[in-house]
Structure 1
Amino acid sequence: MELCNSDNVDQDLYFLCDAQDEELKDLVNCLIYDKDYEKRFAETLSFSEEYQKYGDKYSYYWVRITEELKLFGGNTIANLFRLGKGVAYKEIVEDVAKEMKINFNSYDTVEEIENKLILRVFEDTWKNLTEEEKRNFVSEMEISDTDLTKQGITLAVQLCLKKGGFKTYQLAVIIANSVSKAILGRGLSFGTNAALTKYLSVFIGPVGWTFTGIWTLVDIASPAKRVTIPAVFYITLLRKQIRFRLETIK
């Protein structure tokens, strides 16, 4: 794995030093390939020395991968003045939150804003589910079904996200996979086994409708937005996935 000191890495992305190759694959594909699986015009990762040397051993150059995302997070002219270093990851997350009309505070941590992104997608999707689909979901997630109102289920999901563990990871997989399907036309390649995402198909359609509405509000003329939105959801998932994996092997 790539070695680095804490001075040259965005601290909100430092957890990726524990990522495995297969866990980083979807993020790398998002940065390099568009919805038609054609290389993005502005991407530089596939031409980098690290990519040429290590290929699909993504964990060997995870820092370079994060740098690519940070470049997409800033516009081209601004990046020139930043000496090609892009923007801080927190700025990217905040920008995605603004695009999705999510309220957050400047003192919110990156993970708190990421959780608000998951919650927003969940809330918009929940209202498009049938009663049977709702009950199936709360059963799978082991959430009390005594209150299936929007307020009741929102509170339950908020608590789930704060609590962490397998169910939080499971929820993040469901949302990230559905967002990937909706924006990039392809789901996750890792972590979506049948047992983990039993009711995944229930969310794919409704999340697609959610992002059809959100997409009309986003500056789709900006290629960067087509990268940063799904990439932030991938990283949100990776943060929970890696933490869950590390806690499991303790």
Structure 2
Amino acid sequence: MESEIDINGDSDLLQMLIDADPVDVIVLVDFLTDSGKGRLAMASEVREALESAKKKSKFSRGVLLLMIRELQHFGGNSFVNLFRRNGVPYAEIVADVLSHVGGTGGKNEPVASMELKVLEKLLSDAWEKMSAQEQADFSKGFQNETGPLGVSYAAIQAAIRRGGPAAIQAALLATGAFARLAMGGALAAGTSLVAGRAAGLAFGPIGVALSGIAGAHTLTSQAYRVTVPCVVQIAYIRQKSTLVTCPSCEVPTPKTSKFCSECGAGLAL
């Protein structure tokens, strides 16, 4: 029964996943279940329920409750050990992941802000390992209202912190790196978005740098192999939910805008 599934008050996360594109939720299923192969800390009936929903590309409220509870259990495992039975709220998972990747957050900092800091840290570590040409190529994927940001990670970092398109691009690249590690380069339905939007960056030399950083942050325990990429994907889902696609030019624009920033067309509110 749904009423029996305790998700530690994460009703906001539940609603966000209810509203999400199923293809994006499928990515979470793959990270949680190790692409359907299963994990030591996950019961077989849970894996089967998630895989069944994935095949149908339909996620009921009950399945999403189950998914959140499993993520919370993996979060609890990262704090103590692999067999901890009690889950932890998503905010604690994000704070733990941020600390794990070497970032810092403030007390009572909003979850969305911590998610963006995780993206910043993963990409900044990869940036330091790129050549000058790779940095230039990487920078082309990030723009603000006036155009390309230029070869400057400080400008990219500032754009990510504002959320929206730059944060979505960062999350796509990071998710692609995790998928490359976890799935041997074979993309799930959701992560195939990376191939369409950032294939050259995700699977060229830049992708190698990102994958190296992703691996360094996930190989310490099975729990972090789940929580780190799941936080990245949830950050993507959250930022994507703040945008609307312009019906005229198909450029993503903040939902709070009355007009498209690219072509000036009016947006339905």
Shorter-chain TM-score: which interval? 0.7 to 0.9
Q: Residue 19 of structure 1 contacts residue 59 of structure 1 at CA under 8 Å; is this kept in 2?
A: no
Q: 1:41 to 1:168 in 2, by over 3 A?
A: same
Residue 71 (structure 2) aligns with: 69
Residue 101 (structure 2) aligns with: 100
CA distance in 2, matches of 1:162, 1:194: 24
Quote how far apart the aligned CAs of 1:230 are: 1.6
Question: Identity across aligned pairs (percent)?
Answer: 22
Structure 2 residue 173 is matched with structure 1 residue 174: yes
Q: 1:64 to 1:45 in 2, by over 3 A?
A: farther
CA distance in 2, matches of 1:47, 1:215: 23
Find runs of 4+ consecutive structure 1 residues off by over 4 angstroms.
48-55
TM-score for the superposition, normalised by structure 1: 0.76
Q: Residue 156 of structure 2 contacts residue 166 of structure 2 at CA under 8 Å; is this kept in 1?
A: no
Quote how far apart the aligned CAs of 1:28 are: 0.6
- RMSD of equivalent CA atoms: 3.1
Unaligned runs of 5+ in 1: none
Q: 1:41 to 1:158 in 2, by over 3 A?
A: same
Paired residues in the alignment total 229
Quote how far apart the aligned CAs of 1:52 are: 8.0
TM-score for the superposition, normalised by structure 2: 0.72
Residue 211 (structure 1) aligns with: 214
Q: 1:64 to 1:228 in 2, by over 3 A?
A: same
Unaligned runs of 5+ in 2: 246-254, 256-266
Q: Residue 97 of structure 2 contacts residue 227 of structure 2 at CA under 8 Å; is this kept in 1?
A: yes
Q: 1:231 to 1:45 in 2, by over 3 A?
A: farther
The correspondence of residues 189-204 of structure 1 with structure 2, limited to 5 A, is 189-190=189-190, 191-202=193-204, 203-204=206-207
The correspondence of residues 156-167 of structure 1 with structure 2, limited to 5 A, is 156-167=155-166
For residue 65 of structure 1, what is the amino acid of its counterpart? M
The correspondence of residues 1-250 of structure 1 with structure 2, limited to 5 A, is 9-13=9-13, 14-33=15-34, 38-44=37-43, 46-47=45-46, 51=50, 54=53, 56-60=56-60, 61-75=63-77, 78-79=84-85, 82=86, 86-142=87-143, 143-145=148-150, 148=151, 152-154=152-154, 156-186=155-185, 187-190=187-190, 191-202=193-204, 203-215=206-218, 218=220, 220=221, 223-245=222-244, 247=255
Q: Residue 31 of structure 2 contacts residue 229 of structure 2 at CA under 8 Å; is this kept in 1?
A: yes
Q: Residue 195 of structure 2 contacts residue 202 of structure 2 at CA under 8 Å; is this kept in 1?
A: no
CA distance in 2, matches of 1:125, 1:183: 18
CA distance in 1, matches of 2:162, 2:198: 18
Quote how far apart the aligned CAs of 1:189 are: 2.9
Q: Residue 33 of structure 1 contacts residue 39 of structure 1 at CA under 8 Å; is this kept in 2?
A: yes
Deviations 1:217-248 (A, max 9, x none): x3x3xx22221122111211221223335848
CA distance in 2, matches of 1:224, 1:140: 31
